[in-house]
Amino acid sequence: MSKAGSGMFATALDELGAVLARTDEARIDAACAMLAGAGRIAVYGCGREALQVKGFAMRLYHLGLPASVVGDMTTPPLGQGDVFLASSGPGETTTVLTLMRVARDAGAKVLLLTAEPTGSAAKLADFTLVIPAQTMASDQGAARSSVLPMGSLFEGALFLLFEIMVLRLQALTNATPEAMRARHTNME
């Protein structure tokens, strides 16, 4: 890798570390407690955020938690005692806002992951976990803060945050590595 390439790599890693260092650990713990206590969990995100959210749903399943991805045919209805986890970095994603209203109307709690604590989505959420990272809403002009393009910093931070949440949920649920591995699909 060229010096310029390795410099950008180091910068990107520093940026990811800085985002996670500014993410409130007490709120991460509270979000994990919400998920651990849910009757059912349904997750949703748009675009590349959806990829991270789907990976997290898989790990929730490995932990033994009743998780599904909105849009899959096997997603059950949500209601009282359930949690809808939505990711909307910019906080204004129309589909997310609509699904948040559907979940709330059904009696489920809404857990939002966003970079925009004052956005429309945050106003609808029961609980908001702020990930202070550049998104598509802040990737141009003076607001631009990352060497990474568009919303990549937020999406990368989601991946790392979700892995930390899995470790915390593993402790909360007493899920052993062996039990998690036993739930991994054999259909690959």
pLDDT, tens only, 80-114 = 999 999 999 888 899 999 999 999 999 999 999 99
The helix-helix angle for 47-62 and 152-173 (nearest 10°) equals 10
User: Domain segments of the chain: what residues?
Assistant: 3-182
Say if CB 85 and CB 59 are below 8 A apart: no
For the chain, percent of residues with pLDDT exceeding 90: 66
Q: What is the separation of C-alpha 50 from the centre of its chain, rounded to a whole number of angstroms?
A: 9
Q: Which residues of 58-91 are buried (b: 16+ CB within 10 A; e: fewer)?
A: bbbbbbbbebbbbeeeebeebeeebbbbbbbbbb
Residue 14's Cα: distance from chain center in Å?
20
- pTM beyond 0.85: yes
- pLDDT tens across 57-73, in order? 999 999 999 999 999 99
Could you read off the pLDDT of 133-177 as tens digits, one per residue?
A: 755 555 555 555 655 545 577 888 899 999 999 999 999 999 999
Between strands 67-69 and 83-87, the pairing is: unpaired
Tell me the catalytic residues: 155
Chain centroid, CA 112 distance in Å:
8
Q: List the CATH code of the domain at 3-182.
A: 3.40.50.10490
CA-based radius of gyration for the chain: 17
Segment 3-52, tens digit of pLDDT: 556 787 787 777 778 888 989 999 999 999 999 999 999 999 988 889 99
